[in-house]
Every structure is written in C-alpha cells, then in structure tokens.
Amino acid sequence: MYRSLGNFLAAGILIAASSATAQTSPALASDTQSVGPIAKALGLPGHIILETRLRNEYADQEGLEDANALTFAARFGYEVEPVSRLTFLVEGEWIEQLTDNFTDTVRIVPGRPVIADPEDIQLNRFQVRYAFDEKSSVTLGRQRIVYDDARFIGNVGFRQNEQTYDAASVDWAASDHVRVRYAYIDRVNRIFGGESAMGEFQSDSHVSQVDLTNADLGALSLFVNALDFSNSPINSQLTYGFRWNRTFKANDWRMRVDFDAARQQDYRANTADFDVYYGKAKASIGRGAVDVAVAGEWLQGDDGFAFQTPLATLHAFQGFADVFLRTPAEGLRDFNLGLTWKASNPPVGKSFSLLTRGHIFTDDSGSVLFGREFDALARLGLNDWLTLEFRSAWFDGRDPRFPDKTRIWLAVETKF
C-alpha cells in the first residue's frame, strides 16, 4: 500500500507552502485588534473590517454533471478602539452566487454536485471583549473560536460563510508556560446559513483546553469537549484527549514530531451507545523554505458508529475534495505525505507559497481501500491587501460509496 502511495505522489508532487496555509484561507478568517488602514486614513478610533473573496469552484463528480460555482463573499464591520479594556466588534457577512448550476444545500439542482456556498446576508460576529492584560481576556457574544489547527474546534474559514459561535469564552495566560481556554457554546452558526435546516446547532456545550509549554519537553495540550445539540443528537458527544509536539533544530535543519490521541463517547441527547478512539502521528523535516511531512491519522469505527469532529474545519483534513466530511461507519485511516515550500522574496508580489499532499484512505483496520487523493495549493500575495489562490483536489475512489471527484478553485481575496 505504501509503495502505491509513493508511485502516486511521484507523478505529481511539486513544492508547497507551510501546512498552516492549508488550514484556512486567511483573508476571510482573521481576528482584528489593531487600527486598520482605512480607519487610520479616516482618522477613526478603531478598525474598519472589509474583506472579500471572489471564487470559482469547479466540481467534476462521477455520476453527476459538472458544476461551476462562481460566488462572492464579503465581510464588513467595525471594531471600537478599547475603552477601559473593553472592545466592541460588529461584523456582517454577505454571500452572493453569480452562477446557479450547482446544489448549495439550500437550493437543490438535480444531477449537480454539492458546493456548500449558499447565498446569505447575516450577522457574522457581534461581541464584547474584556482584556485583563495583553494575553488574557473574556469574550461574550457571537464570535470566532479556533483551537490550534481547528481539528476539533474551528471556524471553517475556507467556505464563503464562516462558522461562528454564540458563546462566552475565556482565554487566560496563567503564566508564560500555562494557558487555559474555555467556552460555553449556546449556538453554532454553521456554514449553511439561516435558510438551511442544517444552518445551526442548538447547543448546550462546553469546550476546554489547558496548554503547557516547556522548552525541553515540548508543548502539551489537554482538552475536553462536551458537545450537546438538541436539534442534532447524533453529533452530541464527549471527547477528551491530549496533543503533544516538539521541535528539534540542528544547524540549518529542523524537525517536528506530533502525537494526538482522544477518546469519544455518546453524550446527553445522543441515544446511541459508542466508545471510539482517535490517534495521529506526524513527523516533518525541513531546511530553509522546504518541509517534508509524513502523517497517519486514525478514526475508529465501532458497530456502526465512528469518531466524528462536527465543529472542526474539516476541509483541512482528509483531503481538499471533502469526501470524508463525516467519518464512515467502518472508521477511517488516512496515510499522507506532503511537501511544502514558501518563498519570502518571490520575483512577483510579496509572498508565494506552494503545497502538495497525497493521501491513501482505508477503513480503520487498513484492509479496505476507500481511495487515493492528490491535493495542490498555491497562494500569491501581490501586496498587503490582495492575494490570488489556486487550489485543487483529485480523488480516485475505490469504493462505490466514494465516487471519483475533482475540485478546482480559483480565488481573488482582498483584506483592508
């Protein structure tokens, strides 16, 4: 199997950007806390938020007609300059479709694949934050919550409609080596928008994490996510686990190792009975602008139920083609190999990065092949406010439930 992956990657590996680039699209997924250029030019105390993304997503899926989703998304708002350590932020979101030959989860077009960017105009964030100091704060209201790489808790920044949370959250730096995060989530405003039956989770959930760092031992995080959704009991679950990583440096070389593990059980509204596990191991080595990483991720299946992460930024995991947004009942094993490269002084523009990654997907035992996928991503930052992106995914399905799928994205992003 691993020899097959080597052949698969050899046909297409280019060079790549840092793996963080693949997690979210930065233009529509960043917090704002300093005075922005527009507000400064107008002499306003605070930060005007203005971010846009024009994107075409091409979808070719076996058994369906091809689709092109040309969509435009904009976020616009204002963050008041801190007064007595209090900061207020309000932000709207507008998603417009410029083509209509695709299913967007709200509007169904028979015979066309799903591209989950429905039209919407809504309040994206509406929050007040009190800062105890530069590293500790409490935030109330509709807000963005992202823990680490968004594997368990994220904002799905890749899609045009961002996932935000009606929540109360605390971020406390107890010391230089200890950080505590907690959020009570009353509602999850999902990417499908207000007109969709799937548009929100009615929640009574708690997420918490303690981060411990030590220069000699690395970084250790302990987390507990108790998710309870009254309108989606299948996603109610108790998950607890740990994440550990450490970076090593020798001369011009660097190496990083990561290990994650978690256990998940049914919780509150969920009437099922399951007890499943998750594990990930990753090693990367790099020099200069280039990094090579090999990783294995395992999500267990047990008697028809499998390890799930319903609040994650799922596009960043198990391939850009989004074949496995929900873990199959048999579980999932993802072995992947990636190459990344980032140019700090490109011949054109301000920054340029490339990413390629190949995946082999099987059931959790490794005995049933689901398919293979090759992904590529290129981002060109022309200046401080304009970025071009190319992203692609080719999934070769080997199971009737997971047909062949090709996705290609072209995007123009602005951030002022």
| CATH for 22 | 2.40.160.10
Are 166 and 139 spatial neighbours (Cβ–Cβ below 8 Å)? no
Please name which of 164, 167, 169 lies closest in space to residue 193, comparing C-alpha atoms. Answer: 164
Please name which of 128, 106, 116 lies closest in space to residue 73, comparing C-alpha atoms. Answer: 116
Residue 169 parent element (H or E): strand 164-173
The pLDDT value given to residue 45? 76
Residue 321's domain spans which residues?
A: 2-415
Phi, psi dihedral angles at 5 (to 5 degrees): -65, -40
Give pLDDT tens digits along the chain (416 positions). 333 334 433 333 332 333 333 344 444 444 444 455 665 666 677 899 999 999 999 999 999 999 999 999 999 999 998 889 999 999 999 999 999 999 999 999 999 999 999 999 999 999 999 999 999 999 999 999 999 999 999 999 999 999 999 999 999 999 999 999 999 999 999 999 988 888 999 999 999 999 999 999 999 999 999 999 999 999 999 999 999 999 999 999 999 999 999 999 999 999 999 999 999 999 999 999 999 999 999 999 998 899 999 999 999 999 999 999 999 999 999 999 999 999 988 999 999 999 999 999 999 999 999 999 999 999 999 999 999 999 999 999 999 999 999 999 999 999 98
pTM comes to 0.89
Q: How far apart, in Å, are the Cα atoms of 10 and each of 3, 36, 338, 355?
A: 11, 44, 11, 14
Are 340 and 358 spatial neighbours (Cβ–Cβ below 8 Å)? no
- What is the end-to-end Cα distance of the chain in Å, rounded? 47
Are 406 and 376 spatial neighbours (Cβ–Cβ below 8 Å)? no
Q: State the amino acid at position 337 in one-letter form.
A: L
Are 89 and 78 spatial neighbours (Cβ–Cβ below 8 Å)? yes
Q: Can you tell me the distance from the alpha carbon of 358 to that of 323, in angstroms, rounded to the nearest whole number? A: 14
Please name which of 62, 107, 157 lies closest in space to residue 407, comparing C-alpha atoms. Answer: 62
Q: Can you tell me the distance from the alpha carbon of 39 to that of 25, in angstroms, rounded to the nearest whole number? A: 24
Q: How far apart, in Å, are the Cα atoms of 40 and each of 25, 51, 321?
A: 25, 17, 41
The pLDDT value given to residue 35? 52
Q: Can you tell me the distance from the alpha carbon of 31 to that of 83, in angstroms, rounded to the nearest whole number? A: 18
Q: How far apart, in Å, are the Cα atoms of 191 and each of 155, 160, 262?
A: 9, 8, 26
Are 257 and 245 spatial neighbours (Cβ–Cβ below 8 Å)? yes
Partners of 225 in the β-ladder: 207, 239
Phi, psi dihedral angles at 234 (to 5 degrees): -65, -25
Q: Give me the torsion for CA of 147, 246, 215, 29, rounded to 10°.
A: -30
Task: Count up the domains in the chain and report the number.
Answer: 1
Please name which of 237, 220, 243, 352 lies closest in space to residue 289, comparing C-alpha atoms. Answer: 352
For residue 175, the number of C-alpha atoms closer than 13 Å in the C-beta half-sphere is 5
Query: What is the residue whose two structure tokens read 């594997």?
Result: 151
Q: Which two tokens stand for residue 17?
A: 């950007």
Q: Can you tell me the distance from the alpha carbon of 345 to that of 176, in angstroms, rounded to the nearest whole number? A: 33
Please name which of 175, 89, 165, 82 lies closest in space to residue 131, comparing C-alpha atoms. Answer: 82
Write down how long the chain is.
Answer: 416
Q: H helices of 173-236, where?
A: none
